[in-house]
Amino acid sequence: MRFDVITLFPDLVQSVAESGVVGRAAKADLIDLYCWNPRDYTTDVHRTVDGRPYGGGPGMVMKPECLVDAIRDIRAINASKSIATKVIYLSPQGKTLNQSAIKKMSTEQGLIFLCGRYEGVDERVLEMEVDEEWSLGDYVLSGGELGAMVLIDSITRLLPDVLGHKDSAEQDSFSDGLLDCPHYTRPEVYAGKEIPDVLKSGNHQRIAKWRRQQALGRTQQRRPELVENRILDAEDKQLLQDFLENIKEN
C-alpha cells in the first residue's frame, strides 16, 4: 500500500512511521509513506498557501493551485507505477470514520490524504480532485494531519503480513462489532484486587464464554447502539441476560 500525504507539517505525519506497527510495516516495505508540502508547489516569492475567504469572515482558506498541482504530480507518479489511487480529504464535514470504512480503504493500492489547515480548503479542489471526505468525529482539531495518521495506522494493521497471527486483525473484538472483554496479567492480587476466578480455572471453554459475556455486557452498558443494531443468537442472548441480571444483584 502506498500513502501520499499532502500536508504543511510533513515531519508530524512522518512520525507515525517511526514506531510501532506502522514503523515495522514501513521498514518491511509493506507500506510506502510519502509527504508532499503544498508550499513546495507555490510560485510566488512569499510561498503563499492561504488566502482570505471570499465573502469575509475570520480565518484563512488554503489556496487551490498548489494543492491541485501536488495532487496531479502524485497521480502521475502513481499512474506510471500502475497504482490505482483514491484521494481522501480529512475534514469536519466528512462522514465519521468507522472500522468498515477503514477495511474498504485497506483494499486500495494507493491513497492520497489531503490535510487541511486554517478554515479548510478552497471548495473547488474538493469538486475537482477529491473522491471521499472523512472526519474523526464531532470535535475540533487544528488540521487534518491527525486524521491522516489515524488512517495510516488503522489501515496498515489490516494489511496482509503486518500483524502476526497471534494478534491478527481478525481476532480483534471490534472487528466483531463489540467492545473488548477485561484483561488481566500478573500479579494475581494487585492493590488488594483479585482477578476473576474463571481466568485461573484452566477451562478454556468457560473462559471463552466468560469473555464473550463480558464483551456483550460491557457493550450493552457502554455502547447500547452497537448491540441494538445486531441480531444476537440464542447463546449470546442468554449470556447477555445473565450478565445484566448479575449487575442488578451486585
Residues that bind ligand 9D3 (CB under 6 A): 90-92, 116, 119-120, 135-137, 139-144, 147
CA gap 77, 96 in Å, rounded: 30
* Shortest separation between residue 75's beta carbon and ligand 9D3, angstroms: 22
Q: 91 vs 220, which CB is nearer to ligand 9D3?
A: 91
User: Residue 51 or 224: which CB sits closer to ligand 9D3?
Assistant: 51
How far is residue 150's CA from residue 97's CA, in Å, rounded to a whole number? 10
Residues known to be catalytic: 92, 119, 157, 172
Tell me the C-alpha distance between 114 and 102, whole Å: 16
Q: CA–CA separation, 78 vs 71, rounded Å?
A: 11
Output the smallest distance, CB 133 to ligand 9D3, in A: 9
CB of 87 to ligand 9D3, least distance (A): 15
Cα gap 65→76, rounded to integer Å: 17
Pick between residue 50 and residue 240 the one whose CB is nearest to ligand 9D3. 50
Helix (H) or strand (E) holding 196, with range, is none
> Cell numbers at residue 172, please?
480483534
